Amino acid sequence: MPATPRARSAGTLAAEKVALRAAARRRRAAIPAAAAARAAAAVAAILRDRVPIPAAAAVAGYWPLGDEFDPRPAMTALEGRGHRLALPVVAGPGLPLVFRAWQRGDPLEASAFGTSVPLGDAPEIAPGAVLAPALAVDDRGYRLGYGGGYYDRTLARLRAGAGARPLAIAVCFARQMVDAVPHGDGDQPVDWVVTEDGAMRIS
Domains of the chain from N-terminus onward: 5-201 (3.40.50.10420)
* 148-194 pLDDT, tens digit each: 999 999 999 999 987 789 999 999 999 999 999 999 999 999 999 99
What letter does residue 176 receive in the DSSP assignment? G
Supply the pLDDT for residue 175. 97
SS3 155: helix
Nearest C-alpha neighbor of 63 from the set 94, 90, 25:
90
Count the residues in the chain: 203
- The whole model's pTM is what? 0.92
CB 22 within 8 A of CB 92: no
Return d(Cα 86, Cα 83) in angstroms, integer: 10
* 52-99 pLDDT, tens digit each: 999 999 999 999 999 999 999 999 999 999 999 999 999 988 999 999
Cα four-point dihedral sign 35, 37, 42, 46: positive
CA distances from 136 to 46, 66, 183 (A): 19, 16, 12
CA distances from 182 to 14, 117, 137, 143, 193 (A): 9, 30, 10, 9, 17
Supply the pLDDT for residue 114. 82
Nearest C-alpha neighbor of 196 from the set 79, 74, 89, 55:
74
